Amino acid sequence: MRDAGQQGKSEYWKKVIVMLCLGWTVIWIYRTILNPILPEIERDLNVTSDASMGLIFSVFFFAYTMMQIPSGMLADRFGRKSIIIPGFILFTVGALLAGFSTSLMFLLVASFVTGLGQGTYYGPAYSLSSETIPKEKRGISTAIINSGSAIGMAIGLIGSSFLVKDVGWNWRVLLFITAGLAFSLMLVFAKNIKKTTAPSKTAAKDTEEGAQDKATLKRLLANPKMIASYVLYFATCYGYYMIVTWLPSYLQDERGFQGSAIGFAAALVAFSAIPGALLFSRLSDKFMHKKITFIIILELLAAAMLYLTVSVNTSTLLIVCLILYGFLGKLAVEPLLISYVADIAPKQGVGATFGFFNFFGMISSVVAPFVTGVISDATGSKVLGFYLATIIIVIGAAVMLLTNVKKKPQIS
C-alpha cells in the first residue's frame, strides 16, 4: 500500500508539470497572437499611434499585475484549484470579448478582463509546483513548466502572422480559437488538480515552526534578498515584454521583414529559450550553491544580446542575437529565479510569496509596452527602447549581485 501511495504521489507531480506547462502554453498563445498583426488591427479599428496600440498590452498587464498578490494569498487560504479555475473562465470570457471588439476602447476592456483572468495563474501554479515537486527536481521541472511559455509564444507569433498575413484570415477568428483552448484547459484543471487548502502539510504539522515562518509583509518587503529578487525580475521582465510586444513591429518597420518571416524571426526567441532553460536549470539543480552565479551571468549575457540585436547591421547577425537572447534570457533564467525564491520563501505562504514576486516583475510589463511606444512615436524608431531595456537589466543584475555578496569575516 505504501509503494502504491508513493507511486501515486510520483504520478501526480508529473501530471502537475504537464498541466501547468499546458496552462502557460495557452496563456502565451493569447499574449502573442496579436503582436505580429498590429498593423491589421490598427487599420481595422482606425488607430493611428504606436502608443495607443501599446495600451492594449499595458492594460492587459495592469490587470494581470493587480491580481498577483490577491490570487497568491487567496490560493494559500482556499486552495490553488479554487483560484485557477475561475481565472481560466474569466480568461475565456475576455478572449471572446476581444474577438468581438469593434473599437480600441472595446479591445482595451476585453484586454483588461483577460488580464484579470490570467492574473490568477502564476502564484497558485508555482505554489502548487513547489508543494508537489521534489526539491532536487525543482529547477528542471520548473523549466519544463516554463517551456509552455515558449511553445505558446511560438504558436502565437508564427500562427497569427501566417494565418492573417499569408492566408488572409480575419484576426478575430484567432481569438475565438484561443477562447476555446482556454475553456478546454479549464476542464482539464477541474478534473485533475487535487483540492488543497494548505500550502504545506509538512509545515502544518509543526505549528511552532510554521508560526515562525509565515509570509508576513515584513518578511516579504524588508528581506534584502527578497527585494533583490523583485528588482531583478522587474528588470528581466522589462526586456522580455518589450521584445514580445514590439519586436515583430520593429522587424517589419525598421528591418524590412515581411509576411510570416516576421513571426518566424520573432519566434526564434521562444524556440531557443527551451534548450537554454532545460540546460541551465539542470546545471542549477546539480550545482545548487552556484545558483546566483548562473543567474547573474545569464542576465548580463542576455543584456548584451538585447543591445546587439538593434546594433548589428545585417539580418543574419540580428537573427543570431535573437537566438542567443532567447537561449540566455528570461525563459532561461526564470526557472533559476523561481527556484531561488522557493528556497528563501516562508514555508507558510508560498503562494503569497510568488504573488509578490510576480507582482513586482510584472509591473514592468505594464510600463515597457507603453514606454517603448512613446519612444517610437517621439523618435520614429524603437531602437532607444531596446537600449533602455538593456540598461535596466544591467542595473537589476548589479542589485542582485551586491545583495548576495558574502562579507568576509573581520579578523580582530
The DSSP call for residue 36 is G
**Residue 67 forms part of a structural domain:** yes
State the pLDDT at residue 90.
Answer: 96
**Residue 410 forms part of a structural domain:** no
Which CATH number does the domain housing residue 326 bear?
1.20.1250.20
Backbone angles phi, psi at 214, to 5 degrees: -100, 155
Q: What is the 3-state secondary structure (H, E, C) of 216-251?
A: CHHHHHHCHHHHHHHHHHHHHHHHHHHHHHHHHHHH
Cell readout for 344 is: 528563501
CA dist 7 and 2 (Å) reads 9
The DSSP call for residue 290 is G
Please determine, for residue 14, whether its predicted confidence score (pLDDT) is greater than 90. Answer: no
Dmax (CA) for the chain in angstroms is 76
Cell readout for 338 is: 523561481
**Residue 83 forms part of a structural domain:** yes
**Residue 409 forms part of a structural domain:** no
Quote the mean pLDDT of the chain: 84
Q: Which residues touch 234 (CB under 8 Å, ≥6 apart)?
A: 360, 361, 363, 364, 392, 396
**Residue 411 forms part of a structural domain:** no
pLDDT-derived band at 198, boundaries 50, 70, 90? very low
Element (H, E) at 365: helix 350-379
pLDDT-derived band at 161, boundaries 50, 70, 90? confident
**Residue 1 forms part of a structural domain:** no
What would the mean pLDDT of 119-145 be, rounded to a whole number? 83
pLDDT-derived band at 216, boundaries 50, 70, 90? low
- The count of domains in the chain is 1
Helix (H, G, I), strand (E, B) or coil at 348: strand
**Residue 41 forms part of a structural domain:** yes
**Residue 3 forms part of a structural domain:** no
Please determine, for residue 197, whether its predicted confidence score (pLDDT) is greater than 50. Answer: no
348 strand-pairing partners: 214
Cβ atoms of 161 and 277 closer than 8 Å:
no
Alpha helices in 67-99 (DSSP H): 68-78, 81-99
Exposed, middle or buried by CB within 10 Å (0-12, 13-18, 19+), for 316? exposed
Q: Domain limits at 227?
A: 13-195+209-404
